[in-house]
Amino acid sequence: MTTLNPLQSAAFEARSLTSFVPSLFRTGIIDTKARLRDTAALLPNLARYRFTLAREVETGASSVPDRLALIDDDGTLTYRQFQQQAQTLAKYLLSLGLDKLRIGIMARNGRGMLLPMAAKGYAGATMYLLNVGSSADQLLGSIEENDINVLFIDDEFAERIPDRPGTLPIIAHTSEAHPDELTIEKIVRHPEAVQEIRLPVFPDHGDIVLMSSGTTGIPKGVVRPEPKLPVVLQGIVRAIPIHADQRVQMTASMFHTWGWAMTNVVFAARNTVVTQRVFDPEKCFQQIEKYRCDGLFSSPIFFKQMLQLENQKDYDTSSLKYLASSGHALTPALVEEVHKRFGKILCNIYGSTELTLAAGATAEEIAADPTIAGEVSAGTRLKILDDDGNEVPNGEVGRIFLRNSTSLTGYTNPNIPIVRVGDLIQMGDSGYLDEEGRLHVLGRVDDMIIVGGENVYPRSVEEVLEPMPGIRDLTAQGVDDDHSFARIAVWIVREDSDDGRALTENSVRDWVRDRLVEHSIPRDVHFVDELPRNAVGKVVPRFLPN
């Protein structure tokens, strides 16, 4: 295949950039009340802070200082308060006198996560967003492998803090008093203690490292630079009707790519973020109703939990203008249920931890075709390649490869390989482009199994079984088979209903047999009390019972 030389790559980025600023006006993401001030400060602040949370907080404090920036479990913060506390925390970090700040954050949604993220941009540092599901050994491994010298950690994970010289622990969220511990709350309460410290005019921006869930061993660290010019933002605002001065409920985990990216975007629009540390479907409904939220950022598993609440129809969600989904594949059955409850306002973003944004689908596109991943995002080069690295025609299935300004630059462990063809990086999924150039995703390349010479994607079995009466939750996986080398197995959580109690292995197989070809019928059907999901809702296959 043909690859771009450096000059062509620069021209590609420049063409994308020419429509970046106009798109912000066109979509309404720049606040009308502060348009002149925001526009005047746009390029200078990008030059100083890039597309960091510090830039969004700094600009928000300048243009709309008294607007609420955050409503979390600990109360509220205006943009001015957010700026002051983040700057105080940044000055404290600089006062430590470390040669290079390497900040680890192991925190749930809220100011315990957001204040260190913003302080990183003000002070200049490399930031490691640590998965809250990491064990004590995994946390220690991540700290040692990356030489993390400041660790922000919620007190619920305090037992996992390693006794390691050279790493300063700071409690992020506090659920109880910590008289003898250093906490963010104590630091930001005393700005006078660091008032002599000067923040750098042009901070030395380090990378952002997002850690994989890492069920075993040291979690994989995905390294990406702070975006200098967030051209891919166009793809997000094309798919999701984000506007200035909205209130959004952020269920998406901020330590994960989806939550981290969207948090930056909505603060860039001077929105008010409403969030909760631990997802509770009823509390999510309550927050949407109480604060008249315009949008909800979440994932399919959390939408499903909201729809399974018996009293979910009691809550007024008429203020919602959009639901934004990512992190898992949408299924036609779930899309139909979401539409029944909320209206046809469901949008979808397709990406990955390594490659963030690849494509986005508007609510209208999802309503027309629930299986679509969407239009390839601006500033993104995406190709479908065969096993030999050759581009396939539209309509043919192959491996998804792409590149944009937010793509990973590598892993913290240099021994982990990156699959490349030219300057494009493998997404890890298979799919195809339709005749209009829109992306369709079939599943993980590694998930596809061959049964009797036929390709089978476990996702296709999940989509067929999801609307079966009596099924509350399920997952399908490939398993080894002595006769056909591989077969499909399913794990099902029954509903507490007559339909759920009536489910049998044979009725599940018959349901699939009536709707898919023979080789898709599950060999094994397991009924379980719950599925082992991690903090972002993904099933962890190694914990599934045999």
Classify domain 449-543 at the CATH superfamily level. ANL, C-terminal domain (3.30.300.30)
Confidence at 133, pLDDT banded by 50, 70, 90: confident
Least Cα distance to 363 among 374, 355, 351 occurs for 374
48 near 226, Cβ under 8 Å?
no
Q: Of 245 and 31, which is predicted with more confidence? A: 245
Give pTM, 2 decimals. 0.84
> Does residue 449 have a pLDDT over 70?
yes
**How confident is the model at residue 346, as a pLDDT?**
98
377 near 236, Cβ under 8 Å?
yes
**Do the domains 449-543 and 52-59+76-227 match in fold?**
no
Task: Give the range among 28-32, 93-97, 174-178 with minimum mean pLDDT.
Answer: 28-32
**How confident is the model at residue 313, as a pLDDT?**
92
179 exposure class (CB count in 10 Å sphere: 0-12, 13-18, 19+): exposed
Furthest C-alpha separation in the chain: 73
Q: Which two tokens stand for residue 311?
A: 């009293």
pLDDT in tens, 456-514: 888 889 999 999 999 999 999 988 877 666 789 999 999 999 999 999 999 999 999 99
Domain edges within the chain: 52-59+76-227, 449-543
Q: How far apart are the first and last CA of the chain?
A: 43
Give residue 292's identity as a one-letter amino acid code: R
Neighbours of 176 (CB within 10 A): 6
Backbone conformation region of residue 358, classed left if phi is above 0, alpha if psi is from -120 to 50, else beta: alpha
Backbone conformation region of residue 246, classed left if phi is above 0, alpha if psi is from -120 to 50, else beta: beta
**How confident is the model at residue 417, as a pLDDT?**
84
> Does residue 524 have a pLDDT over 80?
yes
**How confident is the model at residue 61, as a pLDDT?**
93
Between CA 348 and CA 189 the distance in angstroms is: 40
Q: What is the mean pLDDT of residues 410-424?
A: 87
Q: What is the mean pLDDT of residues 226-230?
A: 66
Confidence at 7, pLDDT banded by 50, 70, 90: very low
CATH topology of domain 52-59+76-227: Rossmann fold (3.40.50)
Confidence at 1, pLDDT banded by 50, 70, 90: very low
Give residue 427's identity as a one-letter amino acid code: M
